[in-house]
Amino acid sequence: MMVLDRQRMDPALYRDAMSRYAGHVQLVTTALGKERRGVTITAACSVSDSPATVLICLNNSNEKNDIFFNSGIFALNTLGADHQSLADAFSGKTQLTTDERFASGKFETLVTGAPVLSDALAAFDCRVIEIKQASTHNIIFGEVMGVRYSEPKPALLYMNRGYHAL
């Protein structure tokens, strides 16, 4: 039996290639008791419409993300082109506190208690149904318990290490 020697992909090379991949900018939020957290991501997608399910990918080496793995809820908020400063606030590019980050947008709750951005292009209020660890990230599957969407407007995308509107 012959075993092939797999070469590991250089992480920098992989990141450079992935920078050419356009991703919709999303703000994922959660709450546990009085604690809240939000993170700007592009790693999210629909899984199924029956039952309505989405997934998000979050870095599991950041201790601040533990709230997502323990709360049992999250909201996936799809950002519009007019949300670029909000995306920056939750991306870590700024040194804002959690309260300052949440003060940069208007948030409310729908079903689960996760913070939902009031003027998101679309917001999916989810209860966690499964978490899978995959290397440096956890994949969190959420059943959509509530949804809200706004009037159509340009979307915020991230590609070539910068924001774009579509």
User: What is the CATH classification number for the domain harbouring 100?
Assistant: 2.30.110.10
Question: How many angstroms separate the Cα of 145 from the Cα of each of 49, 113, 118?
Answer: 12, 11, 16
Does residue 158 form part of some domain? no
Across the chain, mean pLDDT equals 94
Does residue 98 form part of some domain? yes
Does residue 77 form part of some domain? yes
Q: Which helix (H) or strand (E) holds 85?
A: helix 84-91
Does residue 74 form part of some domain? yes
Does residue 139 form part of some domain? yes
Number of domains in the chain: 1
Q: State the pLDDT at residue 158.
A: 97
Q: State the pLDDT at residue 3.
A: 55
Does residue 140 form part of some domain? yes
Using alpha carbons only, give the angle 105, 137, 39 rounded to the nearest 5 degrees: 5
Q: State the pLDDT at residue 6.
A: 61
Q: Are 158 and 147 in contact (CB under 8 A)?
A: no
Over residues 27-73, the pLDDT tens digits come to 999 999 999 999 999 999 999 999 999 999 999 999 999 999 999 99
Does residue 159 form part of some domain? no
The percentage of the chain sitting over the pLDDT mark of 70, rounded to a whole number, equals: 96
Over residues 82-93, the pLDDT tens digits come to 999 999 999 988
Cα–Cα distance, 143 to 129 (Å, whole number): 6
Does residue 31 form part of some domain? yes
The percentage of the chain sitting over the pLDDT mark of 90, rounded to a whole number, equals: 86
Q: State the pLDDT at residue 8.
A: 82
Q: How many CB atoms lie within 10 A of CB 94?
A: 13
Residue 17 phi, psi dihedral angles, 5° rounding = -65, -40
Domain limits for position 76 = 24-149
Question: What is the reported pTM?
Answer: 0.92
